[in-house]
Structure 1
Amino acid sequence: MSEGSSEVAIHDDGEHSALSPALVERMADYARAARASSTWRAYDSDLRHFATWCAEHSPALSAVPAAPATVAGYLTALADNGYKPATIRRRMAAISVAHQLGRHLNPTTSVEVATVWDGIRRTHGVAPARKHALETGLLTRVLEAVDGDRLTDVRDRALLLVGFAGCLRRSELVALDVADIAETADGLVLAIRGSKTDQERAGTLVGLAYGSYRPTCPVRSWIAWREAAGLVEGPAFRAVNRHGGVSAGRLDPGSVARIVQRRVAAAGLSPADFAGHSLRSGFATAAARAGVTDRSIMRQGRWRSPTSLDSYVRAGRLFDRDNPSGKVGL
């Protein structure tokens, strides 16, 4: 990883000269695999931004290695120019990784940088602006507007329902292959090959039961899409052109957000309030409201801890039977 770039490189400490170039390159391949390619791209963009800021601020400033005062000044400039704390945190992570890979002293761990970061968080807050959850009632309303028989309608109905019932992340939904979806007497069994919380790709199975109502049944919607598109193998969810032709390639994660926003808009909702993640948060909210235990929700959504799940289910339990505001005699 050189200044202004997060491209992974194996640091040459003199010992690597005894290794073959092919082995060193494979070492770099595995180092790259330690993080998702999207993460490396984000780090690359962030580090270039930092390097540009250093060059424009003063020719004497170095991005890698950087002094703690330089990083603290950069964070201050970001905060004063309206960057969100989440973006600033990611920029810090990129700078940290660049220094670790280059075997430089890490300025982000200094007291100076940590103190400035604490001040930014206290001043600007760290809570992200959340999109609305597409819980069952809203999803049903959206599906009622997806009432056509065009191939895109059949696909979108299946994508929304499988994504919702499986409590899937966008990346997990578009990564599904036809072979990953087994049709059983009880419903669908999804093989999730890898995810945000399964970087080692151990894999897990997720069950989708038959719905009580045919229009909102994830199992029937998937079968309808598979049959209409003539899917036998390859990606489960694909692009459909204006002539009804089905692409051989899979949708990208951003397509899920666009489909959700297009469909909520058709149902008379504000598309700006929803995103691809609204399916996952909607399922967790609806399940919590229905009295499903945290353990069961965590298993379906593959959350590792109740803390991670809490922000999803809190809204669904605001008015459960233990709400004290209904028990004080008002």
Structure 2
Amino acid sequence: MLVFVTGASGFIGRKIIEDLLSHGHGVIALVTSDASAEQFKALKITTLVGGLEDSAVLQQGAQLADGVLHFAFIHDFSDFSRGCQVDREAIEAMSEVMAGTQKPLVIASGTLIARHPTMASEDTPYTRDMLAMSERATSSDLLFKLSKEKAIRGMVIRVPPIHGIGDTGMLAGIVNAVRSSGKALYVGSGQARWPSAHRDDAAVLARLVLESGKAGSTYNAVSESGVAWVNIMAVIGKGLGLSPMSGSPSEVKEALGFFADVMSLDNPTSAAMTMKELGWIPTGPELLDDLRANYF
């Protein structure tokens, strides 16, 4: 299968490409610059230079490919709503040239916007009261609508905070914020739990969903259902030589900025249905072990 991958040069995207190639698939990679394209020369894959607002480039990739893994997103938390709008427009543009083909179009969403008081699953509806963050769910709404209307195989992967060597995402951002502030703070009792997965395992799941996922389905890329923040911050604090401490939401926000808001979200999440349906078996290191070994 020839696969168009957006977010190709990102933390997860690079691993997705490696996994696809190792399993006999071809790749067309969307990159944002000629400099980004250079890193893929050794892999001898096709690259298209453009961004999520370049509809013609997105349509070229989607039309040439047998399927799409859409993992790019504009992570500008100062204008998150705009990033969500651009994402919807990108999905719509690609779906136009895939109409009637039953080609797979797989998009990434997040577990943090699909919460449940005991344990979220693949069937848990999105949490719609999180202001700008909840708008990310509208991409999934649109994809499932287009999947029916345009006869494409639309599927969603809800991605938790991903960890691994070379992390440029939320966990690495929190470690850097703690380092800069000199304060290893968690919110309240620190019992809010985050699900997680290793980058390698998330990449494998992306391929499995592309190959075998069912139209209109949601899959959870979760290997650990929930790690409490008091335990995460204990590892971060030790790694940076700081004493972990409880703080009020305002104190944590003053020290760590935006991250304080998401660190307070209790998000235990299961991937039992995903594992059973697709035979996905995560093998990567667990979050706390990976933090200890590779983040300091």
Q: Please give the range of the TM-score, normalised by the shorter of the 2 chains.
A: under 0.3
Rg larger in 1 or in 2?
Answer: 1
More strand by share: 2
More helix by share: 1
Taking structure 1 as the reference length, the TM-score comes to 0.23
Taking structure 2 as the reference length, the TM-score comes to 0.25
